[in-house]
C-alpha cells in the first residue's frame, strides 16, 4: 500500500470521514477495474484510535520535509511514500497521518501493524451495512 511494504510491516488504513473512506474505495475500484457491485455488500466500521506516536504528515509542508509531494491517485508515487513509511516504522512511529490521494480534503491514517491486534485501536460496533454503492463523494480524485 502507499505508506508501507508488506514485507517490512503490514498496515491498516483508516479514513477521517465516511466520504474519504468511500473516495478511497472508488479509487481502488478504478485502479482494479472492478464494478462497485462486485465488491458489495460491504460494512463501514467506526474505530477509536488512541496511539501516542503518530507522524503527522497531514500538510504539504510536512510532506515536503520528508521529500514527498501531495499524494496522487494511482501507484506511481508509492515507492517514495513507502520508503518514508518504512523509515517511520523503523524509527518507532506507530502510524502516519496524511492527506488522502482520493480526496484531498480528507485524511488517512496508516497504522503500522506488527501484531495481529495493535494496542490503541478499538472497533465501535455496529458497522453500517451497504448493499448498494453510495453516491461518490464530492472532491473525489481517481
Instruction: Give me the residue spans of the domains in the chain.
Output: 10-130
pTM, full prediction: 0.94
Dmax (CA) for the chain in angstroms is 42
What residues does 15 pair with on adjacent strands? 108
Give 55-101 pLDDT, tens digit per residue: 999 999 999 999 999 999 989 999 999 999 999 999 999 999 999 99
Amino acid at each position: 500500500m502507499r505508506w508501507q511494504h508488506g514485507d517490512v510491516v503490514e498496515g491498516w488504513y483508516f479514513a477521517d470521514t465516511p466520504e474519504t473512506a468511500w473516495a478511497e474505495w472508488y479509487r481502488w475500484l478504478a485502479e482494479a477495474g472492478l464494478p462497485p457491485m462486485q465488491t458489495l455488500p460491504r460494512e463501514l466500521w467506526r474505530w477509536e484510535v488512541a496511539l501516542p506516536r503518530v507522524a503527522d504528515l497531514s500538510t504539504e509542508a510536512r510532506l515536503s520535509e520528508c521529500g514527498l509531494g501531495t499524494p496522487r491517485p494511482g501507484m506511481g508515487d508509492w515507492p517514495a511514500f513507502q520508503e518514508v513509511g518504512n523509515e517511520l516504522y523503523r524509527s518507532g512511529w506507530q502510524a502516519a497521518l496524511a492527506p488522502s490521494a482520493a480526496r484531498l480534503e480528507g485524511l488517512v491514517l496508516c497504522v503500522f501493524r506488527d501484531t495481529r491486534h495493535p494496542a490503541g485501536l478499538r472497533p465501535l460496533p455496529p458497522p453500517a451495512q451497504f448493499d448498494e454503492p453510495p453516491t461518490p463523494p464530492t472532491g473525489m480524485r481517481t
